[in-house]
Amino acid sequence: MEFMAIVDAKARTPAGCAVVGIYESEELSTAARQIDKQLAGLIAGLLGSGDFTAKLGDTLMLPLADGSTASRLLLVGLGPRATFGRRQYRKALQASAQALAKTGAGDAMIYLALEPVPELDVQYRARMVSEIFTSHAYKIPDLKTSPKPKARRLSTVHVATADARGEKAAAEGLRVGAAIGSGLAFARDLANLPPNVCTPTYMGNRALQLAKEFPSIKTKVLDAGAIKALKMGAFLAVAQGSEEPPRLIVCEYRGTRKAVAPICLIGKGITFDSGGISLKDPPAMDEMKFDMSGGAAVLGTLRAIAELKLPVNVVAIVAACENLPSGTAVKPADIVTTMSGQTVEILNTDAEGRLVLCDAITYSRRYKPAAVIDVATLTGACIVALGNHISGLMSNTPTLAQELESAGLRADDRAWRLPVGEEYVDQLKSNFADLANVGGREGGACTAGSFLGKFAKDLAWAHLDVAGTAWVSGAQKSGTGRPVPLLVDFLIHRTKAA
């Protein structure tokens, strides 16, 4: 899909569909008033008759006569002007994308970005357009054998702006949003594939393909022998129950001088999590194919920043394996030695994510990183605490935590800070090893984060628990790609601050 910003005065060329917003109480937006004049009051008449109430997210498609600005006009309800904000703007865009997908329109002129939105400048309003329209066009990998209907795809989206300055800002926003959409699609594809396809080896191969596509990315994929040579005993313990070999995926993105310390993004890549010997309940176990969503997100983020050519150095590290029960699987009460040299008593084999991540965090030290951020579908306790709307955020560095929180707000991909500390580490005490891998039900998300924090000592480190946000269940079951928008926004603002 191609996106283009254009000054409204120039936007008089015919488009497949013009999209304008209408506020409740029969209040036309600026663009709607201009178009209504061309249509001899058609829009005002519809509002006056009650045929369109303009409630938030409502849409009405109108065919237009030959010679009009467009062959069709889409009216989108914005709700009351007094309450119109970023959430309402996002919902209006989503409704627009959904309505346009049901038409044969190949191109559209979006006037919604002309509307003022508190806390969103022109660049962010345009960025939201391309991100939402790209995401809406996403199709899950379809392995069905039934004939596929011919897709009618919207190919070109123009965004109207008020002036040349706004046009420049909107063009940059559209570029960023499209790259985020591309990164989201990459992450979602990995997460949505079945686990017999998206294995650790497959994830490694997709990372190698990224390096072929982008010269700024250098990828290496370490096999079980190389992982063993690194003395990653915790990572290998999780992998030992499966016949699928583990992979440590390392992608280095170079966007600036080599001497600049990189940001390390670490992803949990458990391509299927049965729970191991501590077997999960059967209902919804199929969704454990999504347990590699953290790894998918860091690779999707890497793709987005490579498309944007961000002037930053980033290393993406994904610890990928399966967690299965077998005669060779790790057992409760086993003790393993991590890459850091610390020993861990495994009391619950279903608390495996922290085991692969702790070794990956230790591995990241060789890059002398400016910051380390791990992303994982780590704990059900985080879902209990925050639901499915907001990711959990833990950190030993307040400034890093604030950067990530702010990025989540800007990107509409929010994270909420939860505590870590020695109080929670005390719950992880073991009579037999330096740490246990679980600490009881109380504060489960915080004990998991505090476990990782023990391996991030002296690093600027943050942990994102995306167990509640990485996928949606139900009839529309699918990976979401989160927190790609948050991470990309964080990295963009890091480059501005440098």
Q: Which residues are catalytic?
A: 280, 354
Give the integer Cα–Cα distance in Å for 197 and 334: 30
Give the integer Cα–Cα distance in Å for 127 and 86: 12
Q: What burial letters (b/e) apply to 11-48, b meaning 16+ CB within 10 Å?
A: beeebbbbbbbbbbeeebbebbeebbeebeeebbebbe
- What are phi and psi for residue 48, nearest 5 degrees? -65, -30
320 has which bridge partners?
247, 269
Query: Which residues, 6 or more positions from 329, have their beta carbon under 8 angstroms from its beta carbon?
Result: 240, 241, 276, 277, 349
The alpha helices in 102-223, defined as continuous H runs, are 122-136, 164-192, 200-213
Amino acid, single-letter form, for residue 251: C
DSSP string, 211-224: HHH-TTEEEEEE-H
Query: Which residues, 6 or more positions from 31, have their beta carbon under 8 angstroms from its beta carbon?
Result: 8, 20, 21, 111, 114, 160
* DSSP-based helix, strand, coil % in the chain, nearest 5: 40, 20, 35
Give the integer Cα–Cα distance in Å for 54 and 494: 40
Amino acid, single-letter form, for residue 129: V
How many helices (H) does the chain have, and how many strands (E)?
15, 20
Give the integer Cα–Cα distance in Å for 260 and 254: 10
- What are phi and psi for residue 12, nearest 5 degrees? -105, 10
Instruction: Report CA-CA distances (Å) from 249 to 68, 87, 300, 305, 323.
Output: 54, 37, 13, 18, 17
The alpha helices in 267-321, defined as continuous H runs, are 293-308
